[in-house]
Amino acid sequence: MATLFSRDVQVAVLASGSSGNCTYIGDGHAGVLVDCGISAKQVLARLDRLGLGDAPIDAVLVTHEHGDHVGGARVLCDRLHKRLGRWVPFLMTRGTRDALRDRTTPAAVELVSAGGVVELKHLRLDPFSVPHDVADPVAWRVQLGGHQVGVITDLGRPTTLVQDKLRSLSIAVLEFNHDFELLMGGAYPWHLKQRIRSSHGHLSNDQAGELLERGLGESLRHLVLAHLSDENNQPARALAAATGALRRAGASDRVQVQVAEQRTPLAPIRLPAVDW
Ligand SMILES: [Zn+2]
Ligand SMILES: [Zn+2]
């Protein structure tokens, strides 16, 4: 068994930020994309560039209906159908599906419920609720190779549920959206500042740092700081919040930290599978 399936878990953040989000999670035998907020062309080009052009894509896991998460969905669905000769399902909640515009709705939708685990090949896909200002948003945890990988962005506040999911992860892609001072002192109109900082907006560096400190588990090895605002954050500030939290939690030595980017994909993170 072990030799047949002994492949590394690979996680590649293809794009992250308010202009588009997409992350690949796979192990050579099965794989998923989380969100497709960049163009289908960019998704496929970036996978190619990272050496993942032939990596399996068995589903696309959608978090919510904002354009930076679904903008490329319809076209990507058609491209994957053409490329693979079969429909790749786009998994989303009913609230998300109902809120999608026709021009972004993919041809192959499968409905899921927050809290309802989906088995796909040997992957376990776990959508869970997050507080965000849309119909029925979720974040996703994916279990493969004995690891849990989580993509947790677009949430206005840390919740106990999010903290519990975070505790189980080996690889966490976690939102560090804005620096509170930069946001409040910046050029955004007042209503937008209020929306971002609200309990259904986005996590600040400080909120994400506190969540990390409280929700850090023994298994965490890689942390990717995600969905940074171009306007209201700086990578150095997000990094300082994250490394401070890891230091306070006594985990600086075992967790590697990277900042995801909008324009350039991160090299795939790899972890040996530990259990089949
Ligand atoms: Zn977003
Ligand atoms: Zn959003």
Question: What is the fold of 155-261?
Answer: Metallo-beta-lactamase; Chain A (3.60.15)
> How many beta carbons lie within 10 A of that of residue 151, not counting itself?
30
Ligand located closest to 99 CA: 2
Distance 272 CA to ligand 2 centre (A): 32
**Ligand 2 centre from 102 Cα, in Å?**
18
pTM reported for the whole predicted model = 0.96
Q: Are 42 and 263 in contact (CB under 8 A)?
A: no
Q: Please give the distance, rounded to the nearest whole angstrom, from the Cα atom of residue 18 to the centre of ligand 2.
A: 8
DSSP 204: B
Q: Going residue by residue through the chain (276 aa), what tens digit of pLDDT does each one get?
A: 444 445 799 999 999 999 999 999 999 999 999 999 999 999 999 999 999 999 999 999 999 999 999 999 999 999 999 999 999 999 999 999 999 988 899 999 999 999 999 999 999 999 999 999 999 999 999 999 999 999 999 999 999 999 999 999 999 999 999 999 999 999 999 999 999 999 999 999 999 999 999 999 999 999 999 999 999 999 999 999 999 999 999 999 999 999 999 999 999 999 999 875
Q: Could you give the C-alpha distances from 133 to 152, 173, 198, 202, 234, in angstroms and in order?
A: 15, 20, 9, 9, 24
CATH number of 9-113: 3.60.15.10
- Separation of 243 CA from ligand 1 center, angstroms? 23
Q: Give the separation between CA 246 and CA 27, rounded to whole angstroms.
A: 27
The DSSP bridge partners found for residue 140 are 127, 151
Distance 31 CA to ligand 2 centre (A): 23
**Cα–ligand 1 centroid distance for 66 (angstroms):** 6
Every domain of the chain with CATH number 3.60.15.10 lies at 9-113, 155-261
